[in-house]
Every structure is written in structure tokens, then in C-alpha cells.
């Protein structure tokens, strides 16, 4: 099977995220795909996040920063033109569980060949010298996996903490004082300087040594369909922000192997009337399927356990157990 290589000519995040989804949903499944793309100043929020909690809205409005939601889970990230995004889209009948290592190892190895001592650490990161240079996320559907990550190459790290509202629990759990202290640019560790274009060319060359690569250029019809998806979804307030209803019960906790989970509920007479779950967790299934099951359930262990018996909790929360979910709901 060959690897089709696509390089996006656009730096609009709404177009690029629509482009990813178009390739995933519509393009020939006989090929796997490797995509490189860049965004102008943007905050990309994870599918399961409450956008307003993740961003510094006044700063974003004053500095003309895009805010776009992606298909995959995980936390919010900042993109600028010093950041390079990569995407793998592959077919796999084994695509039932999140597996970052398969893809992050490829990128870490490519960086090591450049003399950058990169390694895979944590649930979805690539690090150098203990500092994060790449965050990664995955989306799985119909025996198909989209793995995408951002590579901090020469990003303006001074802006990152200004646009993102990082949860206190995330900072405390990492034992650090700020976002800025735990991220770094790849270019600072290069033995020989490279421009962004040279860096992109190197990654394509590295991939071509592993497998046959054929460049794919979008047709006019491809572009038309991507633009339509952009207009229908990624340009809309409903997708990027959505309605945040009021709740009378809020439960929040960070789990080391899973991430932060926030549960917002309306509970009346001990029965869950409405429930929404946000966080930087990953999952193979849309968490709305779980919340639909939970609505109408009594908020007590035996009833919750009966509901959870109808599904596999790890399909919604990677590296998470039924007992941990019950602990969160009943604390």
C-alpha cells in the first residue's frame, strides 16, 4: 500500500481541519495518507472541551486569533506559522483503541536522525530535554484512524500562555509553574539550522525511506467539497463554541493516565435530568453516546453501574476504568 502525501497550501485553520475530515471521510481508502499543514494564529480545542473554559477570549479577540474545534479529543493547543502540523490517516481493522506510540515513534525517530534527542513520553507527547515539543491526538471511526500532532518548530512561545487558560489541576499535576516552562522549540535543538520548508522536505524524505510516497494534489472538485465542509461545520459558532447550558452539579478531577474530566449535571429528585462531560481526555466513541445513556438514571452506584454495563467505558475515556468513573460521579 502506498502513502499519499498532501501538503496544504492554506494557512486557514477552518480550511485545514475541513481538509483533514474530507480526506478521512471521502478519499480513496486504498491509500494511507500523510499530510503536512500550517495554521496562522489559532487555538484548536479538543472535541470534548468546553471552549470558553480553554481560551483567553479578550486576548484572542484583540489579537485576531482563530478558534476552531477539531474532531479528536485531548487538550487545546496553540498554532502559528512556526508550528508544523502532521497527520496520518490509515485503515486498520484493529482501530478500536487509541494507540499513540505507533505514530509518535516515527516522528521522534525522524527528529533523532537530525540530531534532536526526541523521545516519546506520557500519554501523547514527544519531548526533548524534558520539554514538550509535540502534542498528539487521535480520531477513530469505521476501521480508520486519524492521528495528528503539532510540532513546535519556531513557535512564539511567549504567546501560548496568553491565549490558553490552562487548568490549575494540569499545572499542579505536572509540578510546574507555567505552560511556558514545559514547552520548547525543535529549532533550538537542531545541530544545523533549517528553514521551515527545509524541515518539511526532510520529513517527507524520511517517510519516503520507509514506504513508497506519491504526492497528491487536490482537484477542483476536492477543493469545492472541502470548502463546503468548512462552511457547514468549521466556520460555525455551533461547532467551535456550542451552547453551554447551566448546571446545578459540577464534578471535576484529573486522572493521571486519562486526563481531566469535568461532569456537569442537572439532578432533580436524585435523577440525572441533563449531563455533559468535558475534558482533555481521548476516546474512540463520542461521549454523547454515554451521556444519552446516563440521562434518566438515578445518581446512585447500583443504577450507574447498570448503565455502564451497557457499554465499554474505555471506548469513551482512554486509560480509564468503570470504578474511576463511579468514584468521580459519587464524590
CA distance 5 to 169: 39
The chain-wide mean pLDDT, for the chain, equals 90
What pLDDT is recorded for position 167? 54
- The answer to whether residues 39 and 186 belong to one domain is yes
Segment 46-64 shows an average pLDDT of: 89
| Packed helices 322-330 and 301-308: angle between N→C axes, nearest 10 degrees | 140
Q: Is 162 exposed, middle or buried (0-12, 13-18, 19+ CB in 10 A)?
A: middle
Domain that holds residue 105: 3-240
- The answer to whether residues 150 and 258 belong to one domain is no
Per-residue pLDDT tens for 187-211? 999 989 999 999 999 999 999 998 9
Per-residue pLDDT tens for 228-240? 999 999 999 999 9
What pLDDT is recorded for position 177? 40
- The answer to whether residues 61 and 171 belong to one domain is yes
Number of domains in the chain: 2
What pLDDT is recorded for position 172? 44
Residue 73: pLDDT over 80: yes
Of 200, 219, 240, which residue constitutes the final position of a domain?
240
CATH of the domain at 54: 3.30.930.10
Per-residue pLDDT tens for 84-118? 999 999 987 665 677 888 899 999 999 999 999 99
Amino acid at each position: 500500500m502506498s502513502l499519499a502525501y498532501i501538503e496544504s497550501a492554506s494557512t486557514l485553520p477552518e480550511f485545514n481541519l475541513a481538509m483533514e475530515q474530507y480526506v478521512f471521510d471521502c478519499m480513496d481508502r486504498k491509500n494511507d495518507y500523510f499530510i503536512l499543514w500550517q495554521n496562522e494564529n489559532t487555538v484548536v480545542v479538543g472535541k470534548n472541551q468546553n471552549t470558553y473554559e480553554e481560551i483567553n477570549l479578550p486576548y484572542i479577540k484583540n489579537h485576531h486569533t482563530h478558534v476552531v474545534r477539531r474532531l479528536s479529543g485531548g487538550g487545546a493547543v496553540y498554532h502559528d506559522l512556526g508550528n508544523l502540523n502532521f497527520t496520518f490517516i490509515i485503515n486498520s481493522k484493529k482501530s478500536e483503541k487509541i494507540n499513540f506510540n505507533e505514530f509518535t515513534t516515527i516522528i521522534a525517530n525522524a527528529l533523532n536522525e537530525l540530531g534532536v534527542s526526541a523521545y516519546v513520553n506520557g500519554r501523547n507527547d514527544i519531548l526533548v530535554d524534558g520539554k514538550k515539543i509535540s502534542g498528539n491526538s487521535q480520531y477513530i471511526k469505521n476501521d480508520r484512524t486519524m492521528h495528528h500532532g503539532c510540532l513546535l518548530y519556531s513557535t512564539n512561545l511567549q504567546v501560548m500562555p496568553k491565549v490558553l487558560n490552562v487548568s490549575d489541576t494540569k499545572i499542579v499535576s505536572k509540578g510546574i509553574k507555567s505552560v511556558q516552562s514545559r514547552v520548547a522549540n525543535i529549532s533550538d535543538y537542531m545541530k544545523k539550522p533549517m528553514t521551515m520548508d527545509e524541515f518539511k522536505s526532510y520529513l517527507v524524505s524520511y517517510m519516503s525511506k520507509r514506504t513508497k510516497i506519491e504526492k497528491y494534489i487536490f482537484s477542483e472538485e476536492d477543493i469545492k467539497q472541502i470548502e463546503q465542509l468548512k462552511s457547514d461545520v468549521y466556520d460555525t459558532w455551533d461547532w467551535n463554541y456550542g451552547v453551554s447550558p447551566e448546571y446545578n452539579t459540577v464534578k471535576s478531577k484529573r486522572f493521571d493516565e486519562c486526563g481531566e474530566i469535568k461532569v456537569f449535571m442537572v439532578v432533580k429528585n436524585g435523577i440525572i435530568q441533563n449531563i455533559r462531560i468535558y475534558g482533555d481526555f481521548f476516546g474512540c466513541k463520542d461521549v454523547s453516546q454515554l451521556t444519552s445513556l446516563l440521562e434518566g438514571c438515578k445518581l446512585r452506584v447500583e443504577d450507574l453501574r447498570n448503565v455502564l454495563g451497557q457499554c465499554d467505558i474505555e471506548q469513551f475515556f482512554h486509560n480509564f476504568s468503570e470504578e474511576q468513573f463511579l468514584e468521580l460521579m459519587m464524590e
